[in-house]
Amino acid sequence: MARWIGFTHNGASGFGRLDGERIEVCEGDLFGESKPTGQVLALADVSVGLPCRPSKMIALWNNFGALMDKQGLSRPEAPLFLIKPANTFRPSGAVVAVPEAAGRGLYEGELGIVIGKTARDLTEEEAVDAVFGYTCVNDVTSSAILKADASFTQWTRAKGLDGFGPFGPVIATGLDPEALTVRTLVNGRERQNFPISDMLIPVPRLVSQLSQGLTLEPGDVIACGTSVGSGPIPKGATVEVVIEGIGTLSNRFE
């Protein structure tokens, strides 16, 4: 297992393998050929950045059994999703400004699948090989915007504001997603705690189905959807998405 992190040090951006509180700096392409430079940095001496730069974040809706049952929804035959633009991406530690028009944002703790190679029209077996690793995601939503117009549910606008798609702090490889649990804390108080094993569409099938006619690029993030417990973010609150084996995504919302 490896944990890959992006960072800025002395004004220069880089990436490397995180081992405890030390970063083994690497050069090359995270999703291609990379090698250690021999430089080692202390985590405390860098600014944590995004672990990758996705071309898109694919965000799932109605992908957990507990939430489906609670809301009386039907099991989807194919993934139900929207795409969050790049302006939403923020690293762990970043402060997110919630615009007045958005009202309170809603937190949604999620597992993120990170794609490792260009892929389209995959079988489930091929999909497993296309997954590079996993990260933490907070799929933030403005409920005030979402249904502000009765004629059109504004998914993209409500979830596409600046900073509404933080993810990180690392990409962890070698994990079994079925064994993972997502926890979301608001100001230190646990609000969500749910197992990935409750996903309606498991990872291999999900990646395969999403790839049908839709090219997945290296670094793309699939936010797997959330379960019960999503709620409003108080102004000034810190939201943490915690997944053991990956780490803690932490952002303050103002």
Backbone angles phi, psi at 27, to 5 degrees: -130, 160
3-state secondary structure of 105: strand
Going residue by residue through the chain, which has 254 residues, state the pLDDT in tens, using 9 for 90 and above: 999 999 999 999 999 999 999 999 999 999 999 999 999 999 999 999 999 999 999 999 999 999 999 999 999 999 999 999 999 999 999 999 999 999 999 999 999 999 999 999 999 999 999 999 999 999 999 999 999 999 999 999 999 999 999 999 999 999 999 999 999 999 999 999 999 999 999 999 999 999 999 999 999 999 999 999 999 999 999 999 999 999 999 999 99
Residue 53, pLDDT score: 97
Residue 138, pLDDT score: 98
Integer Cα distance of 18 and 42 in angstroms: 10
**What's the whole-model pTM score?**
0.97
Integer Cα distance of 47 and 26 in angstroms: 16
CA angle 198, 129, 226 (to 5 degrees): 25
Integer Cα distance of 93 and 138 in angstroms: 13
Residue 26, pLDDT score: 98
Integer Cα distance of 155 and 176 in angstroms: 30
Residue 37, pLDDT score: 98
Residue 21, pLDDT score: 97
Residue 23, pLDDT score: 98
Residue 56, pLDDT score: 98
Residue 162, pLDDT score: 98
Neighbours of 116 (CB within 10 A): 22
Residue 28, pLDDT score: 98
Integer Cα distance of 133 and 44 in angstroms: 24
